[in-house]
Structure 1
Amino acid sequence: MTSILEKIGKAIDHSRHSSDLVITEDHQLSIRKLFISGTMDNESLELWGEVVDAHAEDLRIIFVDESRDVIHPREGISGQKHYITITCNELPGILRLFTFEGWRTFLLQDNKLCKYKYIYGLFITEEFQTLCWSVLPWKEMLPVQTSCNTTAKKTSVTKSIIKCYSTAFLPPDAIAPWILETSGRRDDEAITLWKSLGCRELLKCFANELFSAEKMMVGLAGKPPRKIAFGDETLAQPSFDIIQEAAKWIFLEGNETELKHTFLSSELAREWPADMDFCEGIMLRLPSALESARLLYKAHIRSGSKDTMKSLGDLRKTLTEDTQKIIQQSRELSSTLWKDMALVISVLVVRYSLDAAKSVGLQKIYALVFCGIAIYIVISYGMSVYINRQTISLLERVRTTWRTKLYGFLDEQDYQELASRPVKDAMGSYSRVERMTSVVVILLVIILLTAACSEFWSFGTFIKYIHTWTTGIL
């Protein structure tokens, strides 16, 4: 049993015998619309009658005669002009095409190329696949892939690095639709058209500037800079494989797209053949220019790797110095504490080793000495802690600035492991030392103040005085 799609295909093919045939196929809102007009013979009318008689829920077919009346095709008069309109709903991510004309129209609509993942056509005999979509013969009204998700539209990379001076001569928004992944026969009509248009679109991506006045021109920013007539893209089709390879290397492989584009355009301009159009000369220059551009890029990567290693070495050296500074501050804090303890012990030993008779009348002097030493220890220790904290805060601010300015090539996890964690460990060690020394300093100050008070009161009298003073307040 012949399907309605086969009947439509036969009717369209036979209608092409008409000398005044007009076929348009395009997308309108969410509807796919095919319009055919031409002078029909009896066989064409019969074939279109079979199409109308076949039932397809997804298709709406209107057949109109020369008087613009809706009729059944078999009611039409041979030799007169008739009009056929076929509409169907679009499926998300899937494009269904009736005619080769619709295929051409679609390929020329740059803003719609990335809307679909699957393309089905009645005229497709051999399937092929690009990096953007699969092109398949349309054999069932509702294909197996009834719906699929499409990726959100991204900002065009090509138009951000290529200067365009005419809206009639622009590079493609995306490269993926023009890069062939797999294919059957290369001489299929659909793939031949795709290849011809793809060759033109990809060639525009190699230029630095695009002009369109009396004729289309491309500009290459090399030494010397050149302006070259674009020419006939069919001349470049024998080099389509290397053209795809170059475009894929620049726009789809890795990062630094603009740099790779600059390398290639400079190499193309360097020894461009005189008086030769761009499409013609690309066959001679592109293979060697692409090889040279790749070598330049590899040299750039090696140079960048050396710079990266140097930056990592500088980072390691800086971190070592910062860590040593923080550790040194901990040592200095501990050293200062031991000196203060030695001073306090010495003064107390001197005071309490004297005979009670010799110390009579010197109580006020000893009390002042104890208080003075306590004040000295508090001020000295406080200044040391303040200076250390300010130094650590400054190191942290400088390190934060370096993070974005000098070491942006490191991701957050690597930076935390290489830089942040060692410094934080050193700062944590310093904080623990500071807390312990602060406790000891407080004890020393309390001991000195207690000793100063004991010069005027005995310990028992002092406790009794404190008790009386507290009771009086309450």
Structure 2
Amino acid sequence: MIALAELLDELHTERRAILFESESTVSVSELTLDDVRAIISELELLSWGFSISDSEQNVWGRDELAAELAPFRVVINKPASRVNCIRLLTLEGFRQSLESDLEAVRWEISYLKKAFATKSRIFTPWNNNGYFLPEAIKKNPRTLLKNYGAEDLVPRDIGSWLLADYDVEFDNPAFEVWANMSICKLLAILPNEINESGDELKFNGPPRLKLSFSADEPELLKKLSEASFVGLQRAVSWVFDSDREVESRQILLSAEVARSSSKEAPAVECVRENILSALSAAKIAYRLAVSEISKETLKSLAELRKSVSDETAKLADSTRQVVTAVAGAFAVGLGLLAAKATTSTQSWLLVSLSVMVAIYVAMVIASGIHFLRLQRRLRSEWHSRLYRFLPMAEYSRMVTVPIGSAERVLFRVSSFGMTVILILTVLVFIFTFSGDRQQPGIAKNPSNEAGSKVSGAPWKHESFIIVPLIDGKADAKPVGELH
């Protein structure tokens, strides 16, 4: 199979044929009779299907071929591949597929002897069954820089061009094809701007820097060197390690590349000489920036902790106010019941007092609930504007859980207290109006009624003694006069 692939690539390289490879077939056209016979010999060894036609699309068998019918076109039927897998025979087909940016995760390449993987793809020899789990990079590189009409230079998915492991076959021709294209894609990530023609990378610096660039430059891997290629891979991987910090890291790396380069030069030469030092300096600058951010973060966390403590204390104070109001109202309610039972206080006065007490307790509870809802709305605004750096789990542990506990206590105390006061108010109503129905006027003493009908012992009062007379009339005299 390798012999067939090398033969087809040689014909294409020497411009003796035009080669196009799809997922299922390889089409080789503009062939001479000798080249057709060489290809057929290799195909028969592999037992692969094929068809031969001339420039007028007439199909011919092997024994019918003649030099006068040239040029020929051979279409080779490749063995079927698995689902979500691309199987490629030639280097030229591999290059064409990479340029097409196909979305398959697994790529089987005939030239490979050892598999290598990127963040989102794996490239293996044919019939390799190794397990691979792609890693998604959400950030679109095209949002990082100004790209005037050269969008094809900047990939949509940077994960396809970042190695997952640097233990690879650098001298393998299939890896070189991938590496050369990867260098083009990664170089386009470094600058702040690409000009309209796509041949100049611009760095804002300071100092400002312009590097010449050509996406068609051959043998980029050899010009860059293996060490610098790995350094370029590590630099761009570092930029995309954290989705939230891609912009800041890319700016730092771009600035350090401009600072490390003393002159305008081809981009490959500049990266070869400076990428390792630029990456080291960018990491140092990033750590310093993170240190400053950490100070601000600690300050924000301290302020958040204080606001949580203050809000929890206010909720606890609101709870105490509700408890105090309910206890006072309960005492007043019991006093009203006692007053009704022992005195002749007007009913409307007792009812009015009980209603006023219930309204007072309701107002205390309503003020506490209003404060609670206001603080909830403020917290939601704080979280989206000031504390987005906190993960939801951490924010919940620091804020939502402790404040929620205080809120639940306030709700329970308010509900219980209001229920008690409502029940007490209803009892005041019942006892007040039931008492009025039993005593429409001045209460009469039963013993007095009995004494009015028959003569008997005098009926005593604290200040008077009522002496019954023979004729049924009574005379009230002061106690002192009776002695």
- Provide Cα deviations, 1:42-61, integer angstroms capped at 9, x if missing partner: xx5554443465674xx541
Q: 1:6 to 1:399 in 2, by over 3 A?
A: closer
In structure 1, the partner of 2:159 is 176
Matched, 1:101 2:84: no
Distance 1:279 1:11 in 2: 32
Q: 1:461 to 1:253 in 2, by over 3 A?
A: same
Distance 2:364 2:179 in 1: 76
Distance 1:370 1:168 in 2: 84
In structure 2, the partner of 1:328 is 317
Q: Pick from 410, 421, 431: which aligns with 1:430?
A: 410
In the TM superposition, residue 260 of structure 1 has moved relative to its aligned partner by: 0.7
Distance 1:247 1:436 in 2: 62
In the TM superposition, residue 402 of structure 1 has moved relative to its aligned partner by: 2.5
Written as runs of structure 1 = structure 2, the 5 A alignment for 1:433-448 is: 433-442=413-422, 444-446=424-426
Distance 2:153 2:51 in 1: 38
Matched, 1:273 2:268: no
Written as runs of structure 1 = structure 2, the 5 A alignment for 1:35-434 is: 35-41=28-34, 44=35, 46-51=37-42, 53=44, 56=47, 59-64=48-53, 69-77=58-66, 81-88=71-78, 91-109=82-100, 111-112=101-102, 114-121=103-110, 123-124=111-112, 127-138=115-126, 143=127, 145=129, 157-167=140-150, 170-180=153-163, 181-183=165-167, 185-213=169-197, 216-230=199-213, 233=220, 235-238=223-226, 239-252=228-241, 255-341=244-330, 343=332, 363=344, 366-367=346-347, 369-434=349-414
- Provide Cα deviations, 1:234-278, integer angstroms capped at 9, x if missing partner: 643452111111011112456411111111112222343223232
Q: 1:178 to 1:446 in 2, by over 3 A?
A: closer
Work out the number of aligned pairs and report it.
433
> Tell me, which stretches of 5 or more residues in structure 2 are unaligned?
443-483
Q: 1:432 to 1:248 in 2, by over 3 A?
A: closer
| Higher-Rg member (1/2) | 2
- Provide Cα deviations, 1:13-51, integer angstroms capped at 9, x if missing partner: 7x7499651131232xx643321433343xx55544434
Distance 1:17 1:423 in 2: 72
Distance 1:85 1:38 in 2: 12
One-letter code aligned to 1:105: Q
- The percent of aligned pairs where both chains have the same amino acid is 21
Q: 1:151 to 1:459 in 2, by over 3 A?
A: farther
Q: 1:352 to 1:310 in 2, by over 3 A?
A: same
**Does the CA contact (< 8 Å) of 2:137 and 2:243 recur in 1?**
no
One-letter code aligned to 2:415: R
One-letter code aligned to 1:280: E
Q: 1:452 to 1:294 in 2, by over 3 A?
A: same
Distance 2:138 2:242 in 1: 17
Distance 1:339 1:10 in 2: 98
Please report the TM-score for the alignment, with normalisation by the length of structure 2.
0.75
In structure 2, the partner of 1:34 is 27
**Does the CA contact (< 8 Å) of 1:126 and 1:188 recur in 2?**
no
**Does the CA contact (< 8 Å) of 1:267 and 1:293 recur in 2?**
yes
In the TM superposition, residue 130 of structure 1 has moved relative to its aligned partner by: 3.5
One-letter code aligned to 1:319: V
**Does the CA contact (< 8 Å) of 2:142 and 2:151 recur in 1?**
no
**Does the CA contact (< 8 Å) of 1:130 and 1:177 recur in 2?**
yes
**Does the CA contact (< 8 Å) of 1:7 and 1:50 recur in 2?**
no
Matched, 1:24 2:48: no
Q: 1:9 to 1:431 in 2, by over 3 A?
A: closer
RMSD: 3.9
Q: 1:248 to 1:70 in 2, by over 3 A?
A: same
One-letter code aligned to 1:87: N
Distance 2:316 2:427 in 1: 29
One-letter code aligned to 1:82: F
In the TM superposition, residue 9 of structure 1 has moved relative to its aligned partner by: 4.4
Distance 2:14 2:142 in 1: 42
**Does the CA contact (< 8 Å) of 2:207 and 2:258 recur in 1?**
yes
In the TM superposition, residue 352 of structure 1 has moved relative to its aligned partner by: 7.7
